[in-house]
Chain A
């Protein structure tokens, strides 16, 4: 167990599966599906192993020695480029309490999304091949600790996602896919610029004592590693760190999505097939906030402190604006899409608090939003598969026709509303506890509590229009859940209830990292304020 490269295994297993699928004849549709399910199933089991062997005491964040399951070797090694010097890029993987929950989430969501993909009918081989490619990209982002590698995985996701929406999507799929693609690419450009800027500002000391530039994210967190003249080095009096932070933040904010960069989301969600919506909301949105916590925050801690108030403000806007926009929708999927905007606002609000309650709340909310929204989108998918419409007003009285399905959606709806006993409540409470503790964003925090009310408003209204009331004649033949649909919904429901009753299961896991991050952010501020005197 000691030396098994478990992170590489979980990341690249889908590529292996993809290659296998490419060799399977097109006609063997069942085989392709089961193969994908096997791959994602093995990933889920592997994630279980990671959990089993995860050491809760180690913090990670800015100390490579306290990361776990580390894999490191020299990946690119070009020496002798005269003006560039030696280019050395590490293949560096590792997880801490910040990425571990995301790894578990991704494993769970992909497995369920595979089940949900079962009724895809158009060119199955291509779909599942791309699906597995996407799978690799997602895991890669969460486990890589080298910016170069991170960026590659980040871009790797883009391509399959583009095709999955653009080919297997709804009526306006091409528009949605292009919009998604270009929007994300737009963010990536910023990220690339910042990455290169950071590369030329950070050095790593080699064994022979010489210093070379590095993409290592951990190294970028230590001010000692910055060069004296680098454009993003705090030692450089004319540094562009503020601009870089904002650029990088925008790159990540597009993914969250943060107002005003959120409009790709409703389109992408509405057009994407159910499974892809589930992945999009369940995993992809988390990459934005994960990226901020993993890179933006610890690499630019002094800027983070400067701008925390604005991050909180945008969190508040997301919460309230998203909720109000959701209220105006008539398309079931769009309602859930805007509710994602609203719920991701809690993550922003939590992380802007820069204290342990806020960080715990933010990370837990990332996980919980993943499971809850996945369940909501599955709920939309179940009814859309049967009725072929998503218009909220087309329905009514589904509760009578499909009582078990309604039971599951009720759970998901109440979890989204933040009902105590279900997971969403704990994370939202922590977000508020954290943000309210900080005097400067206290008012923002209080205004954001309106989101609790508005959230209940649009959710219950939607619920009433779809599930309650008199059953419409045309829907009286809809069958209740099938076995496959049980298999998708039950695990999510169990996770939501379990984390609602015993949130410590997740909180303890990330506790050390949250504290490491909190301590780092606050010590680093002092450190950087000294640096500023140079």
Chain B
């Protein structure tokens, strides 16, 4: 197993699902069991990913393997330097870890759907779309350049569009898919603008080459401000895809799609791509950009958490909690808790997929009922679903011994450290408040759904535990929500293998003046940075099988015993000093949330209805999702439609009016000139003719043909002539 084999393996992993998509779509109509092919494909993808991840994380743990080829090459142009666009894959630890998550969740969803989607008339089509999604998501994960990321970014958008609108006979489903595509595209336009800025400045799309130039001091328009703008424009893509405020409105609607799809795309993988994007460009984010990112993340963590409190649809609650958790990760990126943000991405992928698939199991058991107020008491009928759902709920609430506890505490410690160093105390406040809310609404969900007495007796009678092909994925995912997979020490992730060995915070490369104060003490330009405790060894190898250029960058890890520095030394120190306080506070806050949920919904010490009535305006505000949909409907959508109608009116009446008007004018002029022609010009001619005719008639009258008359004329004329000549 060498580096070349690894890259070839990952290329196989990348394209296998595409083949699955293609064949399943093409032959799905004729061959009833075509979906089996796609399942075979995804299982092989998973197996290969395990092999890939194993070798990468054991043998090549410090290597970054880049394999690229030239896609477009516009040579010898005078104006721009050669436009040469490389596509390629990059294998680092983030890649294989996320790849593993994608492959695993995708495989489990494939299996889960076997029963969940049974009897659907487009069963094969469904599997084909899942294949397309897996392919696109792999592309995002594997990419080594921002253009390819954008390409696959759009492709996941399409597969998401196709899957949200899978039951397109329903208007709500097709509306939701359209909304998802368009709202995320708003973010994508920003991302595209950011990519343009990068390309115009650096003439390349490849991350490494861009970063190398930034650390050499090349900035867009030579200003740190524009570096901030570039970073934020790229971040717009993440805002769209990861459903961050203000573009979060599409994700709850996306729940119109089949539930396993919600688990795969709208909980575990695609929506996390935004966090992955931020992770990829993390090194080039300036202090201002990071601050904005943290603020957006905090708002996105807070608003949906308040909305989730009052929702009655099981999937909507989970959807809002997804946005909230994604906001958590984005905020964590912003405050510099890079590795914990990424860690939370992975733990969240597992427990949220578990929750969504669990909700799918409930929905199927309840015969497609999604309203939790009609459920209740399900734990007796669906013990396995309940148990797995509960474990995942514990994880998302941050209860000790779960994976969520580990990642969430890291994030909270990060916010504390950040606020200590910069004074922005709002981030830990929001962080803890949201942690309490999360614990509360998740337990509210569990209690209303699974505990107490059944609210709809008739439906309850027919409820049954789901078959094994659905329960096994739940068990796998809930097992992965336990700490042991990540670290042997249940209260510190730093003790394990995951964070210290595999995930390293990239050292910032932005110029000194664009950094936070606490990071400024290091690195005068040209000096070897202290944070940069890795030195890279680069070697280039030729690939004999696939014609690509392969570059292997081996980084020297931190020395044994020497602590890894995240962000900066002072940040690392503060971070560690806040570790235990963060844990304590988090347990308190989470416990309080859970307690309140039990007090209100289980023991019913406080009536939920009375509470809702007492806080009616707040309740309504939350229930109606802060009226974001209405706001956007009456502003952006209305404005666009209004503009389009006005412009079309302008087009049909003014622009075309001028065209038709000029035709009318010409016709009028032609009629006028025809009249002029017939009356004046021709009239003059006719007048002359008339006059000459008249004269003719006059003279003709004179010619009578009688000799007597002529004699009179002659005599008369002679008399006149005589008189005339007499005067001479």
Contacts and interface: CB of A to CB of B under 8 A. Distances in A.
Contact of B185 (A264, A420, A456, A514): A456
A524 to B, nearest CB: 12
Contacts of A182: 663
A514 B76 CA distance: 10
B381 interface: no
Contacts of A471: 169
Contact of A511 (B74, B174, B193): B74
A328 B648 contact: yes
A402 to B, nearest CB: 13
A484 to B, nearest CB: 20
Contacts of B648: 324-325, 328-329
Contacts, number: 141
B158 A437 contact: no
Contact of B74 (A324, A356, A452, A470): A356
Nearest to A356: B77
Q: Which of A356, A360, A461 is the most central at the interface, judged by chain B CB atoms within 10 Å of its CB? A: A356
Contacts of B185: 452-453, 456
Interface in B160-190: 161, 165, 168-169, 171, 174-175, 178, 181-182, 185-186, 188-189
Contacts of A440: none
B133 interface: no
Contacts of A403: 29
Interface in A393-451: 397, 399-400, 403, 414, 419-421, 425-426, 429, 432-433, 436-437, 445-446, 449-450
Contacts of B74: 356-357, 360, 507, 511, 514-515
A328 B189 contact: no
B129 to A, nearest CB: 12
Nearest to B29: A403
B79 A355 contact: yes
Nearest to A436: B196
Interface residues of B, number: 52
Contact of B72 (A325, A355, A503): A503
B171 A436 contact: no
A354 B79 contact: yes
B499 interface: no
Nearest to B152: A420
B200 A325 contact: no
B641 interface: yes
A175 B335 CA distance: 65
B71 interface: yes
Interface stretch (B437-445, B651-659, B672-680): B651-659
Given A457-B182, A519-B78, A419 B193 contact: no
A68 interface: no
A468 interface: yes
Given A356-B79, A357-B83, A449-B192, A456 B651 contact: no
B655 A263 contact: yes
Interface in A318-346: 321, 324-329
Nearest to B666: A182
A461 B178 contact: yes
A436 B29 CA distance: 45
A457 B640 contact: yes
B243 to A, nearest CB: 17
A511 to B, nearest CB: 6
A333 B175 CA distance: 23
A436 B200 contact: yes
B73 A321 contact: no
B263 to A, nearest CB: 24
A260 interface: yes
A470 B169 CA distance: 5
B367 interface: no
A469 B175 CA distance: 10
A54 interface: no
Contacts of B188: 452
A55 interface: no
Contacts of B709: none
Nearest to B75: A511
A389 to B, nearest CB: 20
A131 B456 CA distance: 70
Contacts of A355: 77, 79-80
B640 A449 contact: no
B555 interface: no
A331 to B, nearest CB: 12
Contacts of B647: 321, 324-325, 328
B155 interface: yes
A504 interface: yes
A387 B83 CA distance: 48
B405 interface: no
A460 B168 contact: no
A439 to B, nearest CB: 9
Given A324-B643, A436-B196, A419 B83 contact: no
B83 A433 contact: yes
Interface string A284-302: 0000000000000000000
B373 interface: no
Nearest to B192: A449
A88 interface: no
A101 to B, nearest CB: 15
A356 B152 CA distance: 26
A522 interface: yes
A183 interface: yes
B678 to A, nearest CB: 25
Contacts of A329: 648
B520 interface: no
B33 interface: no
A66 interface: no
B371 interface: no
A360 B644 CA distance: 31
Contacts of A421: 151, 155
Given A400-B169, A469-B171, A522-B78, A327 B193 contact: no
A115 B658 CA distance: 38
A86 interface: no
A464 B79 contact: no
A432 B656 contact: no
Contacts of A508: 73
Given A432-B192, A432-B196, A468-B174, A420 B655 contact: no
A162 to B, nearest CB: 16
A357 B644 CA distance: 31
A445 B161 CA distance: 28
A305 interface: no
Contacts of B152: 420
A319 to B, nearest CB: 13
Contact of B77 (A328, A414, A518): A518
A436 B663 CA distance: 40
Given A327-B640, A356-B79, A449-B193, A437 B154 contact: no
A522 B77 CA distance: 11
Contacts of A260: 655, 658
Contacts of B73: 504, 508
Contacts of A419: 154-155, 158
Given A469-B174, A504-B71, A515 B196 contact: no
Given A179-B659, A329-B648, A456-B181, A518 B193 contact: no
B645 interface: yes
B76 to A, nearest CB: 5
A252 to B, nearest CB: 18
B60 interface: no
12 contacts: A259-B655, A263-B659, A264-B659, A420-B152, A432-B196, A436-B199, A437-B80, A445-B196, A449-B193, A457-B182, A469-B174, A514-B74
Interface of B: 29, 71-80, 83, 147, 150-152, 154-155, 158, 161, 165, 168-169, 171, 174-175, 178, 181-182, 185-186, 188-189, 192-193, 196-197, 199-200, 640-641, 643-645, 647-648, 651, 655-656, 658-659, 663
Given A328-B644, A432-B192, A515-B78, 8 more contacts: A263-B655, A263-B656, A420-B155, A433-B200, A449-B189, A449-B192, A460-B161, A514-B74
